[in-house]
Structure 1
Amino acid sequence: MDIIAEGLAFPEGPVVMADGSVVVVEIMAGRVTRCWNGRTEVICETGGGPNGAAIGPDGALWICNNGGMAHLGETGPGRIERIELATGHCERVYESCDGAALRGPNDLVFDSTGRLWFTDLGSGHEDVKMVGGLYTVSPDGGTVTAVNRRSISYNGIGLSPDQRSVYVADTYQARVYRYDNRAEAQQPEWIATGIGPVGFDSLAVTEAGNICVAMVMGGGGVATVTPQGVVTQLSIPEDPYVTNIAFGGADMRDAYITLSGTGRLARMRWDEPGLKLAFNG
């Protein structure tokens, strides 16, 4: 692996930009940072806990912000934020669904129509775990619609190549689920479970439709899950918290991976090309 940046405060949410840079969030520092080889530049101080990130149809960077960590003294409301990359201006766009506050928005993706999909990991303190869910917003920017309000710990999210399916990863269950791309309440279809004592974090989909899920807790790495449920796992012993993977490069075979425990962004060549996202910066 090549190390692109280090000294980051628990980086996640890599977004590979057209100019070759990679934008990441730093959860523990409450900021968004652009990375080049050996150089970093702060784009925005969001506060809270910025998590998943994606370029929207408007060219802005959209962020899931979980509100922050209790032990850091900040537990503001979970929200979806929009950042103008040129100026760093940040605005809160969504904070609730049907009058109920979002708890811990975690990751997000846009389909080609501009529909937003995002997960909520939930929240917890001491021995209490508040459930999260899967949500969507129509391309016209309307209200937030709940697809599932009773998930355990939804984290990563992505779309199949034909965009008919929405994939989500559940951290504590180490499972991948599938939903239909439609804005109504649904029960998920189980696809696969990780091998061994691992947790699933963020994910990216390949051009062939395989689901690459970053692994945490039981040993860092990346699990590749086929749509049929076959699982293989690549160990990355350099860090126990491999939290995100995103694809880029001319042939889409450059995998950018966040090594969050050691505060690094790495790049490695992947054995198949990643799927190009609907929007890029």
Structure 2
Amino acid sequence: MLLEILNRGKIMMKIFASDLDHPEGLAWSPSGWVAAGGEAGQVYKINPATGETTEIANTGGFILGMAFDGEENLYLCDMGRNAVLRLDTKTGHISDLTTGKVGRELKSPNFLVFHSDGRLFFSESGDWGARNGSIFCIHPNGEVTFESELAPAFTNGLAIDPTEKYLYVVESENPQISRCTISANSLSAPEVVVKMPRTVPDGLVFTKSGDLIICCYRPDAVYIWNGAQLEEIINDWAGITLAAPTNATFIGQDLDRFITANLAGRYLAELEVPHKGAALKYPSR
């Protein structure tokens, strides 16, 4: 299937996996399979060669962002349970990592990303319109700390750049991307790096070359920012084949396959893009 790109010719898209319950988040595992979530708490395991899908767990909530550690435990932002969970993908055991540890009520834990030192940063979006979003960190010892409330306009996607100097942060309601300097014990105040008026940015992923891919809830579009210029990779203006591509990941041995979620659809899509993904962090915890 071909999707037309404004001023950029055409790009090939195919269905990577189907019959999913409105997937918002996805992740590439250390052993080579794709995880995705559903809006009724489903956690799916997907064979990247065939697209065959198996439901391996159900939290009873609503799965948003996800990330693997080095032991292939899968960490889940569960909006339905207002918590960050850990799924042991070998046994199926689910642990709640945040309830009673945060010091405040989580309303919408949304996305999470690992630093190589084992820290797991996650966004708490808060309420749309209230500008009460924030960032927390789950440390390797299980301690949960508050990190920042300075990017509060529906705090959403997170990504750590390949040098691990910066944590990039999406604000969906005040559509922009900021970055915080990461130190051993804290995050700096955010600095805005790119504004995206009349969009609702959602997820982030870095390329091997250090460019930042930005996935959107609205419009049905994916952008790339090279540090100076924001360009469209794809914009399905009719919303027929891309349907709220909220998050994405690179998969494969060379991280050369690009997969997007489709929250308003029931599938993951694979797009042919001229980029490879940055190396993923799978710390031991």
Q: Same fold (TM over 0.5)?
A: yes
Task: Describe the SS at the equivalent of 1:24.
Answer: strand
C-alpha distance 167-42 of structure 1, shift in aligned 2 (>3 A): same
Aligned residue for 2:224? 224
TM-score calculated relative to the size of structure 2: 0.86
Work out the CA distance in 2 between the residues paired with 1:233 and 1:159: 21
The answer as to whether partners of 1:145 and 1:184 remain within 8 angstroms in 2 is no
TM-fit CA distance, 1:141? 2.4
Matches within 5 A, 1:182-197: 182=183, 183-184=185-186, 186-194=188-196, 197=198
Work out the CA distance in 2 between the residues paired with 1:44 and 1:50: 11
Matches within 5 A, 1:131-146: 131-146=132-147
Matched AA of 1:225 = W
The one of 113, 118, 128 aligned to 2:117: 113
C-alpha distance 207-38 of structure 1, shift in aligned 2 (>3 A): closer
The one of 53, 56, 77 aligned to 2:69: 56
Matches within 5 A, 1:85-124: 85-95=89-99, 99-123=103-127
Matched AA of 1:84 = D
Matched AA of 1:2 = K
The answer as to whether partners of 1:96 and 1:102 remain within 8 angstroms in 2 is no
Aligned residue for 1:234? 233
TM-fit CA distance, 1:159? 0.6
Matched AA of 1:22 = V
Matched AA of 1:220 = D
Work out the CA distance in 2 between the residues paired with 1:233 and 1:116: 30
Matched, 1:42 2:55: yes
TM-fit CA distance, 1:92? 0.4
Matched, 1:264 2:277: no
The answer as to whether partners of 2:167 and 2:179 remain within 8 angstroms in 1 is yes
Work out the CA distance in 2 between the residues paired with 1:17 and 1:137: 20
Q: Runs (4+) of structure 1 moved beyond 6 Å?
A: none
Task: Describe the SS at the equivalent of 2:107.
Answer: coil
Task: Describe the SS at the equivalent of 1:235.
Answer: strand
The answer as to whether partners of 1:243 and 1:260 remain within 8 angstroms in 2 is yes
TM-fit CA distance, 1:96? 5.4
Please list the CA deviations of residues 240-273 of structure 1 after superposition, one character each: whole Å capped at 9, or x if unmatched: 4011110122321210111221211111232121
Work out the CA distance in 2 between the residues paired with 1:181 and 1:65: 25
Work out the CA distance in 1 between the residues paired with 2:127 and 2:151: 13
C-alpha distance 208-53 of structure 1, shift in aligned 2 (>3 A): same
Task: Describe the SS at the equivalent of 2:180.
Answer: strand
Q: Which runs of 5+ in 2 are unaligned?
A: 1-12
TM-fit CA distance, 1:169? 1.2
Matched, 1:29 2:40: yes
Matched AA of 2:164 = Q
Matched AA of 2:231 = T
Matched, 1:65 2:78: yes
TM-fit CA distance, 1:221? 1.6
The answer as to whether partners of 1:31 and 1:45 remain within 8 angstroms in 2 is yes
C-alpha distance 156-22 of structure 1, shift in aligned 2 (>3 A): same
Higher strand share: 1
Matched AA of 2:58 = E
User: Percent identity, aligned pairs only?
Assistant: 25
Work out the CA distance in 2 between the residues paired with 1:117 and 1:233: 28
C-alpha distance 239-91 of structure 1, shift in aligned 2 (>3 A): same
The answer as to whether partners of 1:103 and 1:132 remain within 8 angstroms in 2 is no
> Considering only aligned residues, what root-mean-square deviation do their CA atoms show, in Å?
2.1
TM-fit CA distance, 1:274? 0.7
> What count of residue pairs does the alignment treat as equivalent?
265
